[in-house]
């Protein structure tokens, strides 16, 4: 299952698109080649999140993309999503994989190699490791790892690691060269004037490195 993870991992944030049109930006990103989407939007009420998640699922399915739901295994199950993405504030990976018997993908948001290793040991299929580059959204998580720091923290981990934080077309290939399976991002695509072109540029950069 983990072997099929696409190297371009888009995380949603409806506050990012310039026109405030998350679904329009997502539709364009899917046209540009995004095939793995994390549905975030954690601040919505359960009902509103379920309704928006259904629209995201329909867009993704129409493009052959997979959706992973942030933090909520029940919502992921209700939507028929491919997986769930967990972190420090959610149910632990081991509980979701073991006690809940979750059989889909499990991702985990890690901020160091040790934390990532524990997530894999508990049953995660992949992790994001952040922040790699300086970014306002990740400032509270501490200083950026940089490429060498990312390489060191990711070395020896037993599964796919996505570089997250300040990633864009200009440094995506370098992340792969530093040991990343792929890149996870928000603004580089959703904040772009043309999300389709931005996604295509990232896809091209990743292909050149591969």
Reported residue count of the chain is: 210
The 3-state DSSP class for residue 112 equals coil
From the candidates 35, 49, 97, 138, give the one annotated as an active-site residue.
138
Indicate the DSSP class of residue 16. Answer: S
How many other CB atoms are found less than 10 A from the CB of residue 32?
A: 22
- Six token digits for residue 70: 């942030």
Annotation says 138 is catalytic: yes
Distance CA 44, CA 102 (A): 24
State the Cα torsion 13-140-144-16 to the nearest 10°: 20
From the candidates 49, 97, 109, 203, give the one annotated as an active-site residue.
109
From the candidates 40, 49, 97, 203, give the one annotated as an active-site residue.
40
Q: What are phi and psi of 7, to 5 degrees?
A: -75, -10
Annotation says 209 is catalytic: no
Catalytic residues: 40, 109, 138
């Amino acid at each position: 299952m983990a072997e099929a993870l696409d190297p371009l991992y888009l995380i949603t944030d409806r506050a990012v698109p310039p026109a405030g049109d998350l679904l329009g930006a997502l539709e364009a990103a899917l046209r540009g080649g995004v095939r793995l989407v994390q549905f975030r939007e954690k601040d919505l009420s359960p009902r509103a999140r379920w309704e928006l998640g259904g629209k995201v699922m329909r867009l993704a399915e129409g493009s052959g993309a997979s959706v992973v739901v942030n933090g909520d295994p029940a919502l992921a199950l209700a939507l028929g999503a491919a997986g769930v993405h967990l972190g420090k504030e959610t149910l632990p990976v081991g509980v979701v994989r073991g006690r809940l018997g979750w059989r889909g993908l499990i991702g985990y948001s890690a901020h160091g190699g040790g934390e990532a290793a524990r997530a894999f040991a508990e049953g995660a299929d992949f992790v994001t490791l952040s922040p790699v580059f300086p970014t306002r959204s990740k400032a509270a998580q501490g200083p950026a790892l940089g490429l060498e720091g990312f390489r060191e923290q990711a070395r020896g981990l037993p599964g796919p690691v996505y570089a997250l934080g300040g990633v864009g077309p200009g440094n995506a290939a370098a992340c792969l060269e530093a040991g990343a399976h792929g890149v996870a991002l928000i603004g580089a695509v959703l904040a772009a004037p043309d999300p389709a072109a931005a996604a295509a540029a990232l896809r091209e950069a990743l292909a050149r490195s591969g």
